[in-house]
Amino acid sequence: MAQCSGNELMKEECENHEKCMKMIQAVLDGSATPDEIEHFKNNIEVCKPCVDGYELEKSIKESLKTKVSKVCCPQKTIEQLKVKIGIGLLLILGLVIKIKVIQEIFI
């Protein structure tokens, strides 16, 4: 059997997953008590399904947050888009110049 330090204590099954998920949601909402946060930190290191659940909840919350910030600051998004388009154009320009150089060398 392979010895995998760190993951040895990880539970594959959670016997109280529902309770864990409630705790995870409370922590992510910021409504958890210090005791709950402490318990969560101890638990998250040993409970694989709850780590997965936590990561999922966190990514959902983060994607919602970015959506909200996009709605409330459209100007910033437009500026970012302009910068991105500018970089894209520069890359295309660089590519065109490279192709021309290659053509001059080989033709």
Interface contacts to Zn ion, rule CB under 5 A = 14, 20, 47, 50
Which one, 15 or 104, has the nearer CB to Zn ion? 15
Please state the closest distance from residue 29 (CB atom) to Zn ion, in A: 18
Which one, 32 or 50, has the nearer CB to Zn ion? 50
Which one, 18 or 104, has the nearer CB to Zn ion? 18
94 sits in the region (left: phi over 0; alpha: psi -120 to 50; else beta) called alpha
3-state helix, strand, coil in the chain (%, to 5): 75, 0, 20
Please state the closest distance from residue 14 (CB atom) to Zn ion, in A: 3
Please state the closest distance from residue 96 (CB atom) to Zn ion, in A: 55
Which one, 12 or 66, has the nearer CB to Zn ion? 12
What sign has the CA pseudo-torsion 7, 12, 16, 21? Answer: positive
Asked whether 43 and 11 are in contact (CB, 8 A), the reply is no
Asked whether 28 and 57 are in contact (CB, 8 A), the reply is yes
Please state the closest distance from residue 101 (CB atom) to Zn ion, in A: 59
